Structure 1
Amino acid sequence: MKQLNGKFKGNERKNYIVTALFMAALGLFSRRFSNLLPDFIGEHAGDIFWAMMVYFGFRFFLVGKKILLAVMCSILFSFGIEFSQLYQADWINELRNSILGALILGRGFLFIDLVRYLSGIAIACLVDKLLICGKNDR
């Protein structure tokens, strides 16, 4: 999947999806075993890993595009999900009460989650620049 102008490597798309799935796994483990982690990490890691998963998911779909596009899409998506938690209709609360619904939609609006999402996206962007996209500064 190499572009002729050499802007991205063929393995990048695979790297992004594997990294997104790894972030999802870390997030689930950080929630499940939060009692084994230091309090600060146990409290914040799940949302940070969730935002990192979102970022790498967007990079998977936007491979070859500028990093800033993935950052903006990740912020809009994450913030959109968080602000949607202010909407409390019965039908969506039923979805949120399921395991999958809670993982995707969350349960209730918390301002600190916005900070966690920004932190996760910033960390993911840094990891992306240093380890995945390399010299192709997009």
Structure 2
Amino acid sequence: IPYVGSQAGVTIFNFSGSGTVGGDDPAVVPNGTIVISGIDESLSYDLEFSAPCDLITLSGPAPICEPPPDYTVLVINEVDYDNAGSDTDEFVEILNTGAVDIDLTGLSLQLWNGSNTTVYNTIALDPVVLAAGDYFVVGSATVPNVDQV
């Protein structure tokens, strides 16, 4: 909850019975943010801001939390590794087998050495949303339909 200004003596009461009030203290920090975390998804919240000359009540519905993405629907569908010779068309193709789009932001692809199980490269995936049933190709620039080089 962003706020502007501060007033000595401000106190915050959480009457919802759920959640923890934290963040900046409006009694000493001007222009800050109050954070309410851990609110039960089945309870609405009621907060009261009490100051020496004023009283503000803030209420809201129970938060709706999106479930975390199901990354298990992402599969490595096809791999073309380092073949003998001068071939430079190596790639890894990732398929979203799920029914919903998956945001690849924050995910990475690790390349492992098969002879000694050492990770020799980690590639941060581009921040794109992979549609259900779609492919994302990481490879060299010479690979047809490559999405990330």
TM over 0.5: no
Q: Which has the higher contact order (CA 8 A, sep 6+)?
A: 1
Considering fraction of residues, name the structure with more helix: 1
- The two structures have a TM-score, normalised by structure 2, of 0.26
Which is greater in Rg?
Answer: 2
Q: TM-score, normalised by structure 1?
A: 0.28
More strand by share: 2
